[in-house]
Amino acid sequence: MTKSGETTKTVKDEDKYNIRAIERALSVLDAFSRERRKLSLDELTKLTGLSKPTVFRILSTLQSQKFVLLDKNDGRYRLGSVFLTLASSVLGSLSLGTITRPHLIALRNTAQASVLLGALLDDHLVYLDKTEGRGPVRLANDLGWRRDPSNYGMLGMTLMAYLEPSETERLLDEFPLAPYTRKSMTDRELFLQRMGEIRRLGYALEFEEAIDGVWGVAAPVWNSAGEVVAAVGAALPMSVCSEERIAETINHVTACAGDISSELGHRG
8-28 residue pLDDT tens: 444 444 455 568 889 999 999
Name every residue whose Cβ is closer than 8 Å to that of residue 235 and which is 6 or more positions away in sequence: 113, 114, 115, 116, 137, 139, 154, 211, 214, 215, 216
The pLDDT tens digits for 229-268 are 899 999 999 999 999 999 999 999 999 999 999 988 888 7
CATH number of the structural domain spanning residue 192: 3.30.450.40
Residue 52 lies in a domain: yes
pTM of the predicted protein model: 0.65
Residues 230 and 150 grouped into a single domain? yes
Q: Report CA dihedral (100, 248, 193, 267) to the nearest 10 degrees.
A: -40
Count the domains in the chain. Answer: 2
pLDDT digits (tens, 9 = 90+) for 180-236: 999 999 999 999 999 999 999 999 999 999 999 999 999 999 988 888 989 999 999
pLDDT at position 97, please? 44
102 shares a domain with 73: no
Residue 70: give the domain boundaries. Answer: 4-80
Whether residue 7 is predicted with pLDDT greater than 80 in this model: the reply is no
* Residue 268 covered by a domain: no
DSSP state of 147: E
The answer on 190 and 104 residing in a single domain is yes
- The reply to whether 75 and 90 lie within a common domain is no
Quote the pLDDT of residue 1.
44
